[in-house]
Structure 1
Amino acid sequence: MCADIVSPEQRSYIMGRIRGKDTKPEIIVRSICHSMGLRYRLHRKDLPGSPDLVFPKFRLCLFVHGCFWHRHSGCQYAYTPKSRTEFWLSKLTRNTERDLEVQNALQALGWHTEVIWECETKDLKLLRKKLQLIFP
Protein backbone atom coordinates (compact mmCIF):
# COMPACT_ATOMS: atom_id res chain seq x y z
CA MET A 1 0.00 0.00 0.00
CA CYS A 2 1.32 3.44 -0.97
CA ALA A 3 1.38 6.24 1.60
CA ASP A 4 -0.58 9.41 0.87
CA ILE A 5 1.51 12.50 0.12
CA VAL A 6 -0.62 14.69 2.40
CA SER A 7 -1.70 14.29 6.00
CA PRO A 8 -5.10 12.73 6.83
CA GLU A 9 -6.36 16.16 7.93
CA GLN A 10 -5.28 17.77 4.64
CA ARG A 11 -6.83 14.90 2.65
CA SER A 12 -10.10 15.30 4.57
CA TYR A 13 -10.11 19.04 3.83
CA ILE A 14 -9.38 18.47 0.12
CA MET A 15 -12.09 15.83 -0.25
CA GLY A 16 -14.57 18.01 1.63
CA ARG A 17 -14.09 20.80 -0.92
CA ILE A 18 -15.31 18.63 -3.81
CA ARG A 19 -18.78 19.70 -4.85
CA GLY A 20 -21.56 17.94 -6.72
CA LYS A 21 -23.23 21.07 -8.10
CA ASP A 22 -21.97 24.10 -10.00
CA THR A 23 -18.69 22.45 -10.88
CA LYS A 24 -16.40 24.00 -13.47
CA PRO A 25 -17.27 21.40 -16.16
CA GLU A 26 -20.99 21.90 -15.45
CA ILE A 27 -20.70 25.67 -15.77
CA ILE A 28 -18.86 25.28 -19.10
CA VAL A 29 -21.67 23.08 -20.46
CA ARG A 30 -24.33 25.48 -19.17
CA SER A 31 -22.58 28.41 -20.80
CA ILE A 32 -22.37 26.71 -24.20
CA CYS A 33 -25.99 25.52 -24.03
CA HIS A 34 -27.14 29.04 -23.17
CA SER A 35 -25.12 30.54 -26.03
CA MET A 36 -26.83 28.04 -28.37
CA GLY A 37 -30.21 29.44 -27.29
CA LEU A 38 -31.08 26.37 -25.23
CA ARG A 39 -33.00 26.96 -22.02
CA TYR A 40 -32.87 24.55 -19.13
CA ARG A 41 -33.60 23.97 -15.48
CA LEU A 42 -30.93 23.00 -12.97
CA HIS A 43 -30.90 20.02 -10.60
CA ARG A 44 -34.62 19.21 -10.63
CA LYS A 45 -35.23 17.34 -7.41
CA ASP A 46 -38.52 15.91 -8.66
CA LEU A 47 -36.63 13.75 -11.21
CA PRO A 48 -34.54 10.69 -10.30
CA GLY A 49 -30.89 11.60 -9.75
CA SER A 50 -31.49 15.39 -9.85
CA PRO A 51 -30.07 15.79 -13.39
CA ASP A 52 -27.54 18.61 -13.82
CA LEU A 53 -29.43 20.20 -16.71
CA VAL A 54 -33.03 19.46 -17.66
CA PHE A 55 -34.45 20.54 -21.01
CA PRO A 56 -38.24 20.14 -20.61
CA LYS A 57 -38.91 21.14 -24.24
CA PHE A 58 -36.86 18.14 -25.45
CA ARG A 59 -37.66 15.84 -22.48
CA LEU A 60 -33.90 15.52 -22.09
CA CYS A 61 -31.79 15.21 -18.95
CA LEU A 62 -28.12 16.05 -19.33
CA PHE A 63 -25.60 14.83 -16.78
CA VAL A 64 -22.12 16.33 -16.48
CA HIS A 65 -20.05 13.55 -14.95
CA GLY A 66 -16.60 13.78 -13.43
CA CYS A 67 -14.37 11.19 -15.08
CA PHE A 68 -12.90 10.02 -11.75
CA TRP A 69 -16.14 9.80 -9.77
CA HIS A 70 -18.20 8.16 -12.51
CA ARG A 71 -15.46 5.93 -14.02
CA HIS A 72 -15.22 7.23 -17.58
CA SER A 73 -14.05 4.15 -19.45
CA GLY A 74 -10.62 4.55 -21.03
CA CYS A 75 -10.06 8.04 -19.63
CA GLN A 76 -6.79 9.06 -17.99
CA TYR A 77 -8.74 10.77 -15.19
CA ALA A 78 -10.62 7.58 -14.23
CA TYR A 79 -7.76 6.06 -12.27
CA THR A 80 -8.00 3.99 -9.11
CA PRO A 81 -6.24 5.49 -6.08
CA LYS A 82 -3.31 3.47 -4.81
CA SER A 83 -4.24 3.75 -1.14
CA ARG A 84 -7.42 2.18 0.29
CA THR A 85 -8.06 0.52 -3.08
CA GLU A 86 -10.84 -1.73 -1.79
CA PHE A 87 -12.76 1.25 -0.37
CA TRP A 88 -12.41 3.27 -3.57
CA LEU A 89 -13.36 0.41 -5.90
CA SER A 90 -16.49 -0.23 -3.85
CA LYS A 91 -17.43 3.45 -3.78
CA LEU A 92 -16.76 4.12 -7.47
CA THR A 93 -18.50 0.90 -8.58
CA ARG A 94 -21.58 1.93 -6.62
CA ASN A 95 -21.51 5.34 -8.33
CA THR A 96 -21.62 3.72 -11.78
CA GLU A 97 -24.40 1.36 -10.68
CA ARG A 98 -26.41 4.32 -9.38
CA ASP A 99 -25.86 6.20 -12.67
CA LEU A 100 -27.37 3.28 -14.58
CA GLU A 101 -30.31 3.02 -12.16
CA VAL A 102 -31.03 6.74 -12.55
CA GLN A 103 -30.85 6.59 -16.36
CA ASN A 104 -33.24 3.61 -16.41
CA ALA A 105 -35.67 5.37 -14.05
CA LEU A 106 -35.66 8.52 -16.20
CA GLN A 107 -36.20 6.51 -19.39
CA ALA A 108 -39.12 4.72 -17.73
CA LEU A 109 -40.64 8.17 -17.11
CA GLY A 110 -40.23 9.08 -20.79
CA TRP A 111 -37.07 11.16 -20.53
CA HIS A 112 -33.98 10.86 -22.71
CA THR A 113 -30.59 11.03 -21.02
CA GLU A 114 -27.17 12.14 -22.22
CA VAL A 115 -23.82 12.33 -20.44
CA ILE A 116 -21.10 14.92 -20.94
CA TRP A 117 -17.80 13.82 -19.42
CA GLU A 118 -15.48 16.19 -17.58
CA CYS A 119 -12.65 15.51 -20.07
CA GLU A 120 -14.96 16.53 -22.95
CA THR A 121 -15.24 20.03 -21.49
CA LYS A 122 -11.53 20.66 -22.13
CA ASP A 123 -12.04 21.14 -25.91
CA LEU A 124 -14.83 23.72 -26.34
CA LYS A 125 -15.17 23.25 -30.11
CA LEU A 126 -15.68 19.50 -29.80
CA LEU A 127 -18.06 20.02 -26.89
CA ARG A 128 -20.16 22.46 -28.92
CA LYS A 129 -20.29 19.93 -31.80
CA LYS A 130 -21.41 17.18 -29.43
CA LEU A 131 -24.14 19.40 -28.03
CA GLN A 132 -25.25 20.31 -31.56
CA LEU A 133 -25.63 16.60 -32.30
CA ILE A 134 -27.71 16.13 -29.16
CA PHE A 135 -29.96 19.09 -30.03
CA PRO A 136 -30.79 19.03 -33.76
Structure 2
Amino acid sequence: MERRTRFALWSAALHGAWEYAQCPPYYDMTGLPKPEHDALMLAATAGDVAINLGVAAVAEQLVGREPVRRLTPSGTAALLGVGFAAAVGLEWAAQRLNLWSYTDRMPTVRVAGHDVGLLPIAQVTVLPTLAAWATRRTDLST
Protein backbone atom coordinates (compact mmCIF):
# COMPACT_ATOMS: atom_id res chain seq x y z
CA MET A 1 0.00 0.00 0.00
CA GLU A 2 1.30 3.43 -0.92
CA ARG A 3 2.70 5.53 1.92
CA ARG A 4 0.30 8.45 1.38
CA THR A 5 -2.66 6.05 1.48
CA ARG A 6 -1.45 4.61 4.78
CA PHE A 7 -0.96 8.15 6.09
CA ALA A 8 -4.55 9.00 5.10
CA LEU A 9 -5.88 5.83 6.76
CA TRP A 10 -3.98 6.54 9.98
CA SER A 11 -5.25 10.13 9.82
CA ALA A 12 -8.83 8.88 9.47
CA ALA A 13 -8.48 6.51 12.42
CA LEU A 14 -6.91 9.13 14.68
CA HIS A 15 -9.24 11.97 13.73
CA GLY A 16 -12.33 9.75 13.81
CA ALA A 17 -11.54 8.70 17.37
CA TRP A 18 -10.77 12.30 18.35
CA GLU A 19 -13.96 13.67 16.79
CA TYR A 20 -16.18 11.14 18.57
CA ALA A 21 -14.40 11.73 21.88
CA GLN A 22 -14.50 15.53 21.84
CA CYS A 23 -17.81 16.20 20.13
CA PRO A 24 -20.45 15.32 22.74
CA PRO A 25 -19.07 17.37 25.64
CA TYR A 26 -17.78 20.31 23.62
CA TYR A 27 -20.05 20.94 20.63
CA ASP A 28 -23.72 21.88 20.76
CA MET A 29 -25.65 19.30 18.74
CA THR A 30 -28.78 19.37 20.88
CA GLY A 31 -31.66 17.58 19.23
CA LEU A 32 -29.67 16.34 16.26
CA PRO A 33 -30.79 12.84 15.22
CA LYS A 34 -28.10 10.15 15.42
CA PRO A 35 -27.86 9.58 11.62
CA GLU A 36 -27.25 13.30 11.09
CA HIS A 37 -24.73 13.39 13.94
CA ASP A 38 -22.87 10.40 12.46
CA ALA A 39 -22.91 12.01 9.00
CA LEU A 40 -21.41 15.19 10.47
CA MET A 41 -18.71 13.19 12.29
CA LEU A 42 -17.87 11.35 9.06
CA ALA A 43 -17.69 14.62 7.13
CA ALA A 44 -15.53 16.21 9.84
CA THR A 45 -13.18 13.23 9.79
CA ALA A 46 -12.92 13.37 5.99
CA GLY A 47 -12.10 17.07 6.23
CA ASP A 48 -9.50 16.33 8.90
CA VAL A 49 -7.83 13.78 6.62
CA ALA A 50 -7.65 16.40 3.87
CA ILE A 51 -6.16 18.86 6.35
CA ASN A 52 -3.55 16.27 7.43
CA LEU A 53 -2.59 15.65 3.80
CA GLY A 54 -2.25 19.40 3.28
CA VAL A 55 -0.21 19.88 6.45
CA ALA A 56 2.17 17.10 5.39
CA ALA A 57 2.49 18.52 1.87
CA VAL A 58 3.33 22.02 3.14
CA ALA A 59 5.77 20.61 5.71
CA GLU A 60 7.49 18.64 2.92
CA GLN A 61 7.75 21.82 0.85
CA LEU A 62 9.39 23.60 3.78
CA VAL A 63 11.97 21.03 4.84
CA GLY A 64 11.90 18.29 2.21
CA ARG A 65 10.09 14.97 1.90
CA GLU A 66 12.58 12.76 3.72
CA PRO A 67 12.83 14.80 6.94
CA VAL A 68 9.03 14.66 7.22
CA ARG A 69 8.80 10.96 6.36
CA ARG A 70 11.60 10.03 8.76
CA LEU A 71 10.38 12.48 11.42
CA THR A 72 13.75 14.11 11.90
CA PRO A 73 13.72 17.10 14.26
CA SER A 74 13.21 19.48 11.34
CA GLY A 75 10.47 17.29 9.84
CA THR A 76 8.68 16.97 13.16
CA ALA A 77 8.96 20.72 13.80
CA ALA A 78 7.60 21.45 10.32
CA LEU A 79 4.60 19.13 10.84
CA LEU A 80 3.83 20.62 14.25
CA GLY A 81 4.35 24.22 13.11
CA VAL A 82 2.29 23.92 9.93
CA GLY A 83 -0.35 21.97 11.84
CA PHE A 84 -0.58 24.69 14.48
CA ALA A 85 -0.83 27.49 11.91
CA ALA A 86 -3.48 25.57 9.98
CA ALA A 87 -5.39 24.78 13.17
CA VAL A 88 -5.58 28.35 14.39
CA GLY A 89 -6.44 29.69 10.95
CA LEU A 90 -9.10 27.10 10.19
CA GLU A 91 -10.71 27.24 13.61
CA TRP A 92 -10.76 31.04 13.51
CA ALA A 93 -12.34 31.02 10.04
CA ALA A 94 -14.96 28.48 11.16
CA GLN A 95 -15.92 30.66 14.10
CA ARG A 96 -15.96 33.79 11.96
CA LEU A 97 -18.30 32.05 9.50
CA ASN A 98 -20.44 30.54 12.29
CA LEU A 99 -19.91 27.01 10.97
CA TRP A 100 -20.27 25.51 14.45
CA SER A 101 -20.55 26.49 18.07
CA TYR A 102 -19.05 25.25 21.30
CA THR A 103 -20.62 24.43 24.62
CA ASP A 104 -19.43 26.33 27.69
CA ARG A 105 -17.13 23.38 28.51
CA MET A 106 -14.84 23.93 25.49
CA PRO A 107 -11.60 25.61 26.55
CA THR A 108 -11.03 28.55 24.22
CA VAL A 109 -8.60 31.32 23.46
CA ARG A 110 -9.48 34.62 21.80
CA VAL A 111 -7.92 35.12 18.36
CA ALA A 112 -8.64 38.29 16.38
CA GLY A 113 -12.01 38.82 18.04
CA HIS A 114 -13.26 35.21 18.04
CA ASP A 115 -13.05 32.47 20.64
CA VAL A 116 -11.40 29.41 19.10
CA GLY A 117 -11.38 25.96 20.66
CA LEU A 118 -8.15 24.72 22.16
CA LEU A 119 -9.04 21.06 21.62
CA PRO A 120 -9.48 21.42 17.84
CA ILE A 121 -6.22 23.36 17.76
CA ALA A 122 -4.46 20.57 19.64
CA GLN A 123 -6.06 18.02 17.31
CA VAL A 124 -4.86 19.60 14.06
CA THR A 125 -1.47 20.44 15.56
CA VAL A 126 -0.62 16.99 16.90
CA LEU A 127 -2.46 14.38 14.83
CA PRO A 128 -0.59 14.92 11.53
CA THR A 129 2.64 14.11 13.38
CA LEU A 130 1.08 11.06 15.06
CA ALA A 131 -0.23 9.86 11.70
CA ALA A 132 3.24 10.30 10.19
CA TRP A 133 4.75 8.36 13.10
CA ALA A 134 2.21 5.52 12.74
CA THR A 135 2.79 5.46 8.98
CA ARG A 136 6.54 5.20 9.50
CA ARG A 137 6.13 2.45 12.13
CA THR A 138 4.02 0.38 9.74
CA ASP A 139 6.26 0.88 6.71
CA LEU A 140 7.68 -2.55 5.93
CA SER A 141 10.11 -1.18 3.33
CA THR A 142 12.27 0.77 5.79
TM range (shorter): 0.3 to 0.5
Higher RCO (CA 8 Å, separation ≥ 6 residues): 2
* Structure (1 or 2) with the greater helix fraction: 2
TM-score normalised according to structure 1 size: 0.35
Q: Which has the greater radius of gyration? A: 1
* Structure (1 or 2) with the greater strand fraction: 1
